[in-house]
Chain A
Amino acid sequence: MDPRKKNRGLYECEITEKRRLGPGVFEMTLAPFTADVRAFQFAMVGIPGRGDLLLKRPLCLFDTTPGKEGEIKILVKAAGEGTKALKATPVGTRVEVAGPFGEPRDIPGEHIAVVAGGIGVAGSYLFAKQNAQRISAVYFGSTTRWDDEIYKLLEELGTPARIATDDGTLGRHGPITELLTEADCDAVVACGPPAMLERVYKITAGAGIRAYGSFEARMACGVGACRGCAIPAKPEKASGKEYLMVCEDGPVFAMDVIDWERYRAAGI
């Protein structure tokens, strides 16, 4: 069996903790979850008590404690029906979780700028934590100021943190990508909304810096079986393929592999 597959499983987790970290954003601790997790890997999380919502939701693993007493933390933004229902789910509830999924990709570079847009901090945080020595700075932007705890968590990483908010309530007033133009780095890894990813791509391509992005797509299986999570690729950069699967080939891709025009046209 493929060694990656040996590490994954189906977990009947309990929500052991829940706390707010920002507007509409909460952190949830789920246990048991024994597997090792690499940054930007994700889990498929079922919505408890909502049999009418069939599909599990793909959510990044925000933090992890592997092993016998293992647990994971996820960061969830109440976006639509499923994530809103998850937000309302009390501590002690059982949740079906499958994972970890996604290709654990190595990002080459010795001064990597980590860019997180809003809920994109969920995946970026673990990457920064697991690669602390190689991080030049963590750039975190959001529409408005989040709770103090999230900034404290970023500070505790021991890497410089650059903050921006669209409304100016904290840090630089404006999009986080403006700060990136001043970055001193040899690679960028970004996680956030599509428009932010595209902006990061344009900035880095202009500067000749390698950039990677963690991408989103609607998912059903999370394991490469259903072919639902397709993202348009440039065939000449993707072994001739017109589409890559976010769950199987990603969610992190080198940004120059993505066909941005077709990606933009598709929406999520």
Chain B
Amino acid sequence: MTNLSITINGIEFRNPILVASGIAGYGTEWDGLCDFEKLGGVVLKGVSREPWAGNAPPRLAETPSGMLNAIGLENVGLDAFLDEKLPALEGLDTVIVANVVGRTVAEYADVCEALDKHDRPAALEVNVSCPNVESSGIAFGTNINTLTEVVSACRAATGKPLWVKLSPGVSDIAPFAATAVDAGADALTVANTIPAMAIDVESRRPVLGNTYGGLSGPAVFPVALRLVHVTAHAVDVPIIASGGAVGWRDAVAFMLTGASLVQMGTVLFSAPAAPEAAVTGLAEYAERTGFKEVSKLVGALINKG
């Protein structure tokens, strides 16, 4: 029997497959369709200090082998998250990771501080792709200075493992990865949706209410794979891959390039059973290729030349 478990930052995951933030909801929405107890864990919807209403619709657009979303990080806010959402997960036997969003550095820090006191989230994943309202709406994670500020503030606010979810919308991810680690990140999630847009040529209007959205799904997998590869060479902390994985083959590829864990998101919309199938497929692959522990796959890529 292959040992599928992975331990990073002192947290043991029963296998390397997680459901990504924004797709897993608050952990109960997929009941009866996707069994999170068969997976390594789930990352909950991003939570902000106050409730956010989200963007004007349409919030979704389908693109070839992908999709755009401009949800606008609609969420119930910290109070309802702590009082209603986390308690609802009491019986759920899987690792819970909270995802943190904010419009200012102080908002991020406040959310981290409040979550730090709650025993359920095993780790905090910070989404640094939010627009910074104090700096003309530029995403925190696309500027070295604001990335440093936000990660440092979150680090100071929590003793829990801190994952920083990097933005892919930068010319070179390596310095951003190094910056996040220097500022206190215990692990890096690589990456997030890719800034994109869609137009309805008949109406000559953008499809999304927000004009711009984020591209996800299998269309982004090769991009995410390269970003994981580059990041793995730039830093020594564990990497959690996110972007376009649909099955075990993608999970193996992510792990070979250096990811310890693999998040699956958009694929749940086409196949809610895909994460579970990926776990089975991953076990079969490891068995077939003689890896007794899947953790040994991490970084086992044979590089060219």
Contact = CB atoms under 8 A, between A and B. Distances in A.
B277 to A, nearest CB: 12
- The binding surface of chain A is classed by DSSP as loop
Contacts of B266: 54, 220
Interface stretch (B3-11, B17-25, B180-188, B293-301): B17-25
B64 to A, nearest CB: 5
A10 B65 contact: no
Nearest to A8: B32
Nearest to B66: A54
A227 B56 contact: no
Interface residues on A, range: 35 or more
B58 A267 contact: yes
B56 to A, nearest CB: 6
A229 B30 CA distance: 16
A56 B270 contact: yes
Q: Which of B60, B61, B64 has the most CB of A within 10 A?
A: B60
A195 interface: no
A52 B270 CA distance: 10
Contacts of B57: 217-218, 229-232, 243, 266
Interface stretch (B67-75, B166-174, B256-264, B281-289): B67-75
Contacts of B268: 221
- The binding surface of chain B is classed by DSSP as loop
Interface residues on B, range: 35 or more
A156 B56 CA distance: 42
A98 B272 contact: yes
A224 B64 CA distance: 24
A19 interface: no
Interface in B162-205: 203, 205
A55 B272 CA distance: 11
B29 A223 contact: yes
Nearest to A46: B270
A10 B22 CA distance: 21
Contacts of B65: 51-52, 54
Contact of A230 (B45, B64, B74): B74
B159 interface: no
Nearest to A53: B62
Q: Which of B58, B62, B269 has the most CB of A within 10 A?
A: B269
B209 interface: yes
Contacts of B45: 225, 227
A186 interface: no
A185 B217 CA distance: 48
A265 B56 CA distance: 9
A265 to B, nearest CB: 8
A98 B33 contact: yes
B218 interface: yes
30 contacts: A1-B32, A2-B28, A6-B32, A9-B33, A54-B62, A54-B266, A55-B270, A98-B33, A218-B59, A220-B67, A220-B69, A220-B266, A221-B29, A221-B268, A225-B29, A226-B71, A227-B59, A227-B71, A228-B60, A229-B57, A229-B60, A232-B56, A242-B53, A242-B54, A243-B74, A266-B56, A266-B57, A266-B58, A266-B209, A267-B205
Interface of B: 22-25, 28-33, 45, 53-62, 64-67, 69, 71, 74, 203, 205, 209, 217-218, 266, 268-273
Given A55-B270, A98-B33, A230-B59, 5 more contacts: A1-B32, A9-B33, A54-B270, A226-B71, A241-B53
